[in-house]
Copies of this chain bind each other. A is one copy, B any other.
Amino acid sequence: MKHLLLTITYDGTGFHGWQRQPGQRTVQGELERVLSILCRDEITIAGASRTDAGVHAYGQRAGFSGEFGIPVEKIAYAANRLMDKDVRILEVVEVSEEFHPRFDAKGKTYLYKIRNCQEPDVMLRNFHYHVEKPLDISAMQEAATYLVGEQDFRSFLAAGGKEPETTIRRITRAECYLEDADIVFEVTGSGFLYNMVRIITGTLVEIGLGKRAPAEMKTIIESRDRRRAGHTAPPQGLYLKEVYYEGELADEN
């Protein structure tokens, strides 16, 4: 029995999110379909993160176990040839039996891309959040600093979402920077609540537009009240950049 860890990239546009659902095209479903063919066995994979419909990934991780004939180093190439071009396995490594891609994750990094210019770009409509009015990036960056630390992030938990055991998470990095015509919000943390990055981004956009002061981010966190935070930014701008484990720490963390 072998235990494998996959690194996967996908364009979320054509998927109903990560999680397998009968009758829907999902990333998990597509990978399981192809790996089951290759391994001649019914393969079930466990993803590190359940990304929503429309959300993209540069470095999703998923694990699976099985007895199979094909050599480990051939799996990515063979699987990629059987899949549509909107999902690609980038790497396959062997891990120990005890390893679990979700429970053993030490943290994740997400990017959120905001196109901040007047002209819409139809080519990129599925890959960013288009904000026409000018955003004050330094105000957004100031607001982002309040996110860092171990805090209760209940204010950014989607209303009506299922209640997690705890809403305390540790954010180790939160930065807004300019990349070409895009403002990118990059955030690394021990874990994220459902819709947390999109609600934080919506709040940052309202701060960037001057509708709220940067320091309001602090009072929003302290309020532990979803109604105090901003709108939920659309899924098209969100990217799961990286999931990291013990010994492969994201950036400086």
Contact = CB atoms under 8 A, between A and B. Distances in A.
Interface of A: 9-11, 56, 85-88, 120, 122-123, 125, 127, 180
A11 B122 contact: yes
Contact of A85 (B10, B87, B125): B125
A11 B120 CA distance: 12
Contacts of A85: 122, 125
Nearest to A8: B122
Contacts of A88: 120, 122
Nearest to A13: B123
A127 B123 contact: yes
15 contacts: A9-B122, A10-B122, A11-B122, A11-B123, A11-B125, A56-B123, A85-B122, A85-B125, A86-B122, A86-B125, A87-B122, A88-B120, A88-B122, A123-B127, A180-B180
Contacts of A11: 122-123, 125
A165 to B, nearest CB: 34
A127 B127 CA distance: 12
A91 B173 CA distance: 43
Between A11, A120, A123, the greatest number of chain B beta carbons within 10 A of the residue's beta carbon is seen for A123
A10 B125 CA distance: 11
Contacts of A87: 122
A180 to B, nearest CB: 7
Contacts of A9: 122
A31 to B, nearest CB: 13
Nearest to A125: B85
Contacts of A127: 123
Contacts of A56: 123
A127 B10 CA distance: 15
A180 B179 CA distance: 11
A180 B86 CA distance: 22
Contacts of A86: 122, 125
A85 B13 CA distance: 13
A135 to B, nearest CB: 22
A122 B122 CA distance: 17
